[in-house]
Structure 1
Amino acid sequence: MSGNGSQFQFGDNVTMHGGQGNVGIQHNHGPAADQALPPEIAALFAQLTAVVTELARDARLPAEDRQSLEETLPVLSNPAGQERRSWRNTLHLLTGLTRELGEAAAPALGLATQLLALISGH
């Protein structure tokens, strides 16, 4: 996936140079520490963090659900410091939880779904 002239890649990358000097498999589980997230993805994570933070404070929700929402915040608020697998796991957890929570969680569900589509390349 590329945007604004910068490129990033998730997943494994194999480089072969004939039968000698092969690099092997380069595992790409997320952006390198010195590689910034694409602006669109970073912005969506920031929006989702704000929405989930507010939702986790909603006293109308059961305490267990508020706690589950709070537990997603470390990944949401610092996606650049996390592996892609952590993003996906957290976003899948959020989509399931927010579907159960209904109308109050609709904005979080929309953002989480949008992010999953972006990082999955759809």
Structure 2
Amino acid sequence: MSDNERPNVQYGDRVTIHGGSNNVGIQHNNGPVGGEALPPEVAALFSRLADVVTELARDGRLREADRQSLAEALPVLNSPAAEEPGRRRNTLLLLAGLAQSLGEAAAPALGLANQLLALISG
């Protein structure tokens, strides 16, 4: 296929500036992403969940893959305000599913994850 036969496909922004001064580029206003303040009770629940997940990850009965999933969730739990709301929600959903599959040992994590999901989704 020659260059003349290829479709004109563009990914991302395309900007053309004709003249002017003090051009600063593109400003995307997609709303707040990370860094937003969380209500104190929500931040406290994330902190408690981080402590529970840290302890759960030390459980020698867990499979290595489960411990790895718990460890990967910790950055979001430790700094939830710095994360996008969708990432916080996805992390809580992952933890709730994992905790449910782990049974009684993970009951505190399941309870906290479900409580947080109710708070941030409703």
The higher relative CO (CA closer than 8 Å, separation ≥ 6) is in: 2
**Alignment partners' CA distance in 2, 1:102 and 1:29:** 36
Unpaired runs of 5+ in structure 1?
1-24
Give SS of 2:52's match. Answer: helix
CA gap 1:26/1:120 in 2 versus in 1, 3 angstroms:
farther
Contact 1:45 1:76 in 2 (8 A): yes
Give SS of 2:55's match. Answer: helix
* Counterpart position of 1:62: 63
Structure 1-normalised TM-score?
A: 0.72
User: How many residues are paired up?
Assistant: 95
Cα offset, 1:62, TM superposition = 1.1
Give SS of 2:100's match. Answer: helix
Aligned sequence identity (%): 64
Counterpart amino acid of 2:119?
L
* Counterpart position of 2:30: 27
Give SS of 1:80's match. Answer: helix
**Alignment partners' CA distance in 2, 1:55 and 1:40:** 22
Bigger-Rg structure (1/2): 2
Give SS of 2:88's match. Answer: helix
Contact 1:91 1:112 in 2 (8 A): yes
Contact 1:30 1:83 in 2 (8 A): yes
**Alignment partners' CA distance in 1, 2:118 and 2:30:** 21
Unpaired runs of 5+ in structure 2?
1-27
* Counterpart position of 2:76: 75
- 1:99 aligned to 2:100? yes
Large movers: runs of 4+ above 6 Å: none
Give SS of 2:59's match. Answer: coil
**Alignment partners' CA distance in 2, 1:63 and 1:44:** 26
Cα offset, 1:36, TM superposition = 2.4
Structure 2-normalised TM-score?
A: 0.72
